């Protein structure tokens, strides 16, 4: 567990006045507030950091304790013990230090903070957060292979011990988020439950590149088939197709196979296209005989 420099978190000098602390905190809160930085883990971390700094520095007792013992928090425990003794001799040591009761999610404060000032239940504001009516939304990530979502993909998710059945629709995009209503945390006082947001992360280990609903693939053609034409059997995403190669096919020629691409999300039976690009492979390690024949061809041109 490391020492946290709360002054640095707020960009302040140790001599900062209460007014300066308040100002610095508000400015940074506007920058890193989670509601204006959706889906941004770094901002979320910064927001927690500045909230914690503010909890400590805006409270005179906490600030005094931190200034005195912050760098060597073990002495802070010593201080705490003395305080406790004093309190009990004065007969007012009844303040609960339990970790429940404030209703905010675990992990809002750092280990360092908890060791200096105790966990929740010690009377901190929750950053001024209003009491929730609707339950908290939950966010989850689901890692799938591209192949999985070529068809509808039923999945049972374990969210906080609850089994939730979902079907990921065929053709879902990478990093798309789906919302499952009412599967977040329970609401308060009869309020609606929060929602569950699942972000889909797709891994593509196929030879196809996906761009929107279209699939792209490179096809290597040998020089002779490209020049003379011929047939070629190639893979589509879920089967094979026989291609007719026209004589004198040029390098980088693109061929579009309509409807052989990826399924279109939420449009059953509709597909994007498969776009093939021919790359002509020139022969290597020619024999003397072949070289002679190429020279002959060259002379004819």
Q: Which residue has the tokens 């995009």?
A: 173
In the bound complex, what is the minimum distance in angstroms from residue 209's beta carbon to other proteins? 5
| Strand 138-145 versus strand 196-203 pairing type | parallel
Residue placing its CB nearer to other proteins in the complex, 87 or 256: 256
Q: Which two tokens stand for residue 63?
A: 């600030």
What torsion, rounded to 10 degrees, do the Cα atoms 183, 184, 185, 189 define?
-70
Closer to other proteins at the Cβ: 14 or 27?
27
The nearest distance, CB 148 to other proteins, in angstroms, is 18
Q: Give 191 or 259: the residue with its C-beta nearer to other proteins.
A: 191
CB of 162 to other proteins, least distance (A): 20
| 111 Cβ neighbours under 8 A, 6+ residues apart | 1
Residues 6 or more apart whose CB falls under 8 angstroms from that of 1 comprise 73, 111, 112, 115
Q: Give the nearer residue to other proteins in terms of CB position, either 36 or 223.
A: 36
Binding site for other proteins (CB under 8 A): 26, 29-30, 33, 35-36, 38, 127-134, 137, 173-175, 188-192, 195, 209-212, 216, 218
Q: Note whether 166 and 108 are within 8 A (CB).
A: no
Q: Which lies closer to other proteins via its Cβ, residue 186 or residue 286?
A: 186
Structure tokens at 117: 């000032």
Query: 101 or 192, CB closer to other proteins?
Result: 192
CA-to-CA separations, 289 to 223, 286, 295, in angstroms, rounded = 17, 8, 10
Least CB distance to other proteins at residue 201 (A) = 12
251 neighbors 278 (Cβ within 8 angstroms): yes
Pair 206, 146: CB distance under 8 Å: yes
* Least Cβ distance, residue 300 to other proteins (angstroms): 34
Report the nearest approach of other proteins to the CB of residue 187 (Å): 9
């Amino acid at each position: 567990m490391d020492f946290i420099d709360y002054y640095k978190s707020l960009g302040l000098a140790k001599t900062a006045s209460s007014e300066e602390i308040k100002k610095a905190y508000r400015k940074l809160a506007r920058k890193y507030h989670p509601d204006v930085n959706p889906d941004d883990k770094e901002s979320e971390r910064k927001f927690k950091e500045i909230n914690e700094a503010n909890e400590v520095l805006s409270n005179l007792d906490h600030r005094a304790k931190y200034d005195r013992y912050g760098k060597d928090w073990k002495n802070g425990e010593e201080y705490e013990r003395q305080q406790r003794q004093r309190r009990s001799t004065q007969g007012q040591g009844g303040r609960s230090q339990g970790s429940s009761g404030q209703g905010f999610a675990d992990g809002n404060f750092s280990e360092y903070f908890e060791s200096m000032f105790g966990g929740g239940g010690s009377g901190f504001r929750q950053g001024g957060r209003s009491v929730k009516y609707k339950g908290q939304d939950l966010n989850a990530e689901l890692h799938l292979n591209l192949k999985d979502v070529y068809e509808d993909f039923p999945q049972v998710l374990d969210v906080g011990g609850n089994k939730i059945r979902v079907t990921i629709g065929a053709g879902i995009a990478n990093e798309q988020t789906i919302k499952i209503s009412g599967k977040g945390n329970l609401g308060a006082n009869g309020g609606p439950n929060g929602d569950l947001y699942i972000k889909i992360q797709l891994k593509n280990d196929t030879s196809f590149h996906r761009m929107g609903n279209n699939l792209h693939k490179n096809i290597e053609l040998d020089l002779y088939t490209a020049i003379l034409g011929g047939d070629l059997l190639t893979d589509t995403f879920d089967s094979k197709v026989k291609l007719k190669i026209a004589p004198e096919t040029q390098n980088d020629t693109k061929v579009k196979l309509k409807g052989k691409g990826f399924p279109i999300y939420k449009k059953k039976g509709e597909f994007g296209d498969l776009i093939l690009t021919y790359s002509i492979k020139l022969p290597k390690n020619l024999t003397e005989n072949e070289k002679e024949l190429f020279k002959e061809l060259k002379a004819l041109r």
